[in-house]
């Protein structure tokens, strides 16, 4: 893997984590202020797309973001849709078969397959394919909004033919379940979603790393008898926190980028940034 490296650590930096959804009620947004050995989490409840766009315009040139949403669709899926729109006579013969397993080339991006291999576990379809990709479309609308530069968004870190990064935006894609699995150093083949982890399993590892106020702590750890809505809310905010931690890794140049042969697909489909190493010590 090509690893994005920075020459120096930033003494103080704010990172942002966004668990994207089509509904503000189901969207998680936090910022983490990192300074010396103190990292403080701030929760932004029920953020609208207008607020997200405004914050991106305000901060994304100097502060790092990691977002839980696909930055693109599988190339094979896009090609298949184009053929389908042209009519049966234009459909490429043999592009797909009837049986379910062969949908994988349409349903998974290159980065999805790379992550599955790294985790040692076959996982579900890309969100940009499953359920028609409504969340990915909502994010694409933000990317294409007026007044925001496309250079802020790093689908892969555009690579020159020699593998040198030519352009890097500060807004990257990630996947909280995969990132949390690496942050907590789980065995190969085991994947744990922060959204569904027990209160103790999520809050325990964060104690030495993040300063979380009592109100946010109640949101993140609502208890076993919490309502379904409270658990769902906790899950979105937890995912956002993990995203902000990935943004910290990215700020230090400690996430894995695509190999040169993956760069073209990544620039079209997006790339899931994950920490290069396991554990939490690399956040400092």
Q: Read off the DSSP letter of residue 171.
A: E
DSSP 132: G
pLDDT at 240: 99
Task: Identify the segments of the chain with pLDDT beneath 50.
Answer: 1-10
Query: Can you tell me the distance from the alpha carbon of 244 to that of 203, in angstroms, rounded to the nearest whole number?
Result: 15
Do 66 and 240 meet the contact criterion of CB atoms below 8 Å apart?
A: no
Could you tell me if residue 65 is inside a domain? yes
pTM summary value: 0.88
* Residue 153 domain-assigned (yes or no): yes
> Which domain, by its residues, includes 187?
2-74+109-283
Asked if residue 85 is part of any domain, the answer here is: no
83 within a domain of the structure (yes/no): no
pLDDT at 89: 67
Quick: pLDDT tens for 23-32.
999 999 999 9
Burial label, 186 (beta-carbon count in 10 A; 0-12, 13-18, 19+)? middle
Residue 1 confidence (pLDDT): 42
On whether residue 275 sits in a domain, the answer given is yes
Total structural domains within the chain: 1
> Locate tokens 């300074």: which residue?
35
Amino acid 272: pLDDT: 95
7 domain residue, yes or no:
yes
| Tens-place pLDDT, residues 99-130 | 555 566 677 889 988 998 898 877 665 655 66
Closest CA relative to residue 67, chosen from 32, 19, 109, 138 = 19
Task: Output the six-digit token pair for 266.
Answer: 């990544």
**Is residue 37 included in any domain, yes or no?**
yes
**Count of CB atoms situated within 10 Å of the CB of 118:** 16
What is the Cα–Cα distance from 91 to 75, expressed in whole angstroms?
16
106 to each of 45, 68, 95, 101, 179, how far by Cα in Å?
35, 20, 9, 10, 24
β partners of residue 67? 18, 173
Asked if residue 104 is part of any domain, the answer here is no
The Cα–Cα gap between 48 and 166 comes to: 33
């Amino acid at each position: 893997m090509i690893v994005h490296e920075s020459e120096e650590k930033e003494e103080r930096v704010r990172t942002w984590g966004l668990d994207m959804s089509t509904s503000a009620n189901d969207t998680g947004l936090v910022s983490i202020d990192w300074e010396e050995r103190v990292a403080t989490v701030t929760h932004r409840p029920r953020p609208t797309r207008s607020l997200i766009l405004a914050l991106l315009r305000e901060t994304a040139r100097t502060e790092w973001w990691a977002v839980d949403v696909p930055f693109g669709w599988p190339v094979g899926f896009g090609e298949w849709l184009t053929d389908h729109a042209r009519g049966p006579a234009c459909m490429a013969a043999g592009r797909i078969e009837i049986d379910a397993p062969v949908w994988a080339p349409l349903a998974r991006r290159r980065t999805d397959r790379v992550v599955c291999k790294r985790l040692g576990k076959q996982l579900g379809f890309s969100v940009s394919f499953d359920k028609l990709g409504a969340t990915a479309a909502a994010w694409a609308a933000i990317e294409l909004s007026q007044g925001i530069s496309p250079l802020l968004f790093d689908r892969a870190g555009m690579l020159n033919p020699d593998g040198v990064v030519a352009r890097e935006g500060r807004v990257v894609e990630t996947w909280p379940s995969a990132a949390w699995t690496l942050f907590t150093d789980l065995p190969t083949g085991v994947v744990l979603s922060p959204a569904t982890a027990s209160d103790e399993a999520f809050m325990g590892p964060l104690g030495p790393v993040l300063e979380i106020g009592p109100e946010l702590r109640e949101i993140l750890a609502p208890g076993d008898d919490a309502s379904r809505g409270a658990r769902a809310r906790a899950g979105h905010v937890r995912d956002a926190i993990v995203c902000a931690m990935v943004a910290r890794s990215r700020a230090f140049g400690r996430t894995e980028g695509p190999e040169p042969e993956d760069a073209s697909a990544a620039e079209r489909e997006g790339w899931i940034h994950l920490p290069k190493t396991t554990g939490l010590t690399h956040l400092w």
